[in-house]
Amino acid sequence: MALLEGKVVIVTGAGNGIGREHAKLFAREGAKVLVNDLGGARDGVEGEGAAEGPGPAEAVAVEIRKEGGVAIANTDTVATREGAERIMAAAVDAFGQVDVLVNNAGILRDKSLLKMDDAMWGSVLAVHLTGTFLCSQAFARLAVRRGEGGRIVNTTSVSGMLGNFGQANYAAAKAGVYGLTRTMSIELQKHRITVNALAPIAKTRMTDDLPMFHDTATLGPEHVAPAALFLASDLCGARTGYVLAVAGARMYAFKVVETPGKFKEGESTVWTAGEIAEHWDAIVRA
């Protein structure tokens, strides 16, 4: 039997790139898919960057239906509570339930810290972090009432885990998604809702102008979708709170770890600044 037979999946930001690959693979595995995409440019400006004809969400839904799958399109924003609730309602109205949420929607407004303005900061956090929170909360409330569990797959980033020049807004948002994933995994475990995240490296519309992606055919979004499928399916089991990273053929996990540290010696238990400097290597060594 297909891995997602009988399941209903919402994929946000599914009109292009990684989200599109997620939606198509899920449909091939038997899921009924709500394809959500606002249809804007990669900086989030509505109406820009879209091709002539149907919007990207509808175009992907049409592709899925032509391949024999079941899909509908949705163009609500993830960045407001009303939008998030309309996305959930659209899936329930069409298919009667929601089993899986994939938070993939994102925009980029890169600028160095000293040149970044409030709009660049706020818009990126609104889509990536607030959007993930709002959609996850709306989904989880439905899943708890239904009482049959569910799965949330978030999208963080190497930038969020390690930082990246020119991406203070994006890195902060994606680091927030990591913390949100960890907390939701703890809180929702008792409701049999797993919450995991992907940290993908792939050539998409979002990354097409980065030098590292110019001459490679090995970092396509098709490498990422199977990891999302695993986390969205029963193959994942009860695993929750993980960040699975995918970079082409390489798959690995991100973890925040603490060093063994060092206990202060002597009568006083209060470290002085000088003692911290003296024992720095022992304090930070993993």
| Catalytically active residues, by annotation | 170
- Residues 271 and 74: their CA atoms lie apart, in Å, by 56
| C-alpha to C-alpha distances, 114 to 111, 132, 167, 169, nearest whole angstrom | 8, 27, 11, 12
Q: What's the burial of 284, exposed, middle or buried (CB within 10 Å: 0-12/13-18/19+)?
A: exposed
Per DSSP, 53 falls in state S
Dihedral (CA of 157, 104, 56, 26) sign: positive
- Burial of 247 by CB count in 10 Å (0-12 exposed, 13-18 middle, 19+ buried)? middle
Whole-number Cα distances in Å, 101 to 74, 75, 140: 14, 16, 9
Are 239 and 196 spatial neighbours (Cβ–Cβ below 8 Å)?
A: yes
Report the distance separating Cα 229 and Cα 29, nearest Å.
9
Q: How many CB atoms lie within 10 A of CB 60?
A: 28
Integer Cα distance of 10 and 102 in angstroms: 6
